[in-house]
Amino acid sequence: MTTTDTAQASGYTSSYLADQHAGQLERLRTLERAFDPLSHAVFDQLELAGKPAILDLGAGAGSLAAWLGKRYPDATVTATDIDTRFLTNIPGIRVMTHNVATDDFPAASFDVVHARALLCHLTEREDILTRAATWVRPGGWLVIEDVSLQPSLNTANPLFRKIAQAGITLLERSIGSDMLWADTLPGRLRDRGFSNVGHRTLEGRIGDNSPADIFWAATTAQAGPALLKLGLLTQDDLDAMASLRADPAFTAAALTLVSAWGQVL
């Protein structure tokens, strides 16, 4: 196994989404509160037996790795990230600095390889899907969960559409993210020859004070300075969006979390 000793510079690590930002841990917690329920439901239906080896790539602040450790007390849970600062002090899991874009694992090392809100941000996403499949043992599962912002582009509200398009452009330009890629995930697993491919989705709205709404607001707030610096939005746009979101008459579909899984036979 090869690992990076220090986090390598990448689009993500130098971006407004990276872990050095004040408030990043709380932003990751808002993501976890929004997305953990779907991830838990997906793992619950996999019916893992025995003492599974589970890998969570790009584990962030680690709520899912912590849950996996409790859900499967006999499992070996490995949580990786290029920046592991938020993964300390989680009992019962192995933590490893690992850049999924460049670092490997030996073939057939895990019963489940999982990644959430990670591949959409990495330009190497197609290659990672192919490589991660080789890390899964026969009978095991690859589970990929990613965010699609397509619903926000479908909104009838012109201000929300403008803000959404600016956010997608910022992510694409500063990180290389593809915020529509998640919609193609089940097909990509089928194309790679996975068996028993399935998927589930979680719809996230804004303006309804839901966990997804709070995650959206935290991420947009963190993106604010970069959006202004690149001239993608003005302060007036951001202020108007804050007022719109606070308007009790406004709510709109904002994102989909797509969870897709496939089995290696």
Ligand X SMILES: C[S@@+](CC[C@H](N)C(=O)[O-])C[C@H]1O[C@@H](n2cnc3c(N)ncnc32)[C@H](O)[C@@H]1O
Task: Give the residue with the Cβ less far from ligand X, 104 or 183.
Answer: 104
Distance from chain centroid for Cα 102: 18
Quote the CA–CA distance of 194 and 262 in Å, as a whole number.
5
Angle formed at CA 48 by CA 46 and CA 52, multiple of 5 degrees: 135
**Nearest distance from residue 61's CB to ligand X, in Å?**
6
Q: Cβ of residue 228: shortest distance to ligand X, in angstroms?
A: 22
Q: What angle do CA 159, 119, 233 make, to 5 degrees?
A: 20
Give 53's strand partners: 76
Measured from the CB of residue 123, what is the shortest distance to ligand X in angstroms? 10
Query: CB nearest ligand X: which residue?
Result: 60
SS3 96: strand
CB of 13 to ligand X, least distance (A): 7
List interacting residues with ligand X (CB under 6 A): 10, 12, 19, 28, 31-32, 35, 58-60, 64, 81-83, 99-101, 116-118, 122
Residue in the structure block whose two tokens are 């584990």: 59
Q: Which residue number, 48 or 122, has a Cβ lying nearer to ligand X?
A: 122
C-beta of 24: minimal distance to ligand X in Å?
Answer: 9
Q: Which is nearer to ligand X, 98 or 245 (CB)?
A: 98
Provide the minimum distance between the beta carbon of 25 and ligand X in the complex, in angstroms, as a whole number.
10
Cβ 236 to ligand X, closest distance in Å? 28
CA distances to 108, 113, 137, 193, 252 from 141, rounded to whole Å, are 11, 6, 8, 12, 34
Nearest residue (CB) to ligand X, 36 versus 237? 36
* 8 Å CB contact between 54 and 75: yes
The angle subtended at Cα 97 by Cα 172 and Cα 66, nearest 5°, is 90
Question: Which region holds residue 13: left if phi is over 0, alpha if psi is between -120 and 50, else beta?
Answer: alpha
**211-229 and 158-174 are packed helices; what angle lies between their axes, rounded to 10 degrees?**
70
Q: Which is nearer to ligand X, 100 or 129 (CB)?
A: 100
Nearer to ligand X, 53 or 63 (CB): 63
Taking the least distance from each CB to ligand X, the nearer of 11 and 196 is 11
CB count within 10 Å of CB 250 equals 15
**H or E element, residue 53:** strand 53-57
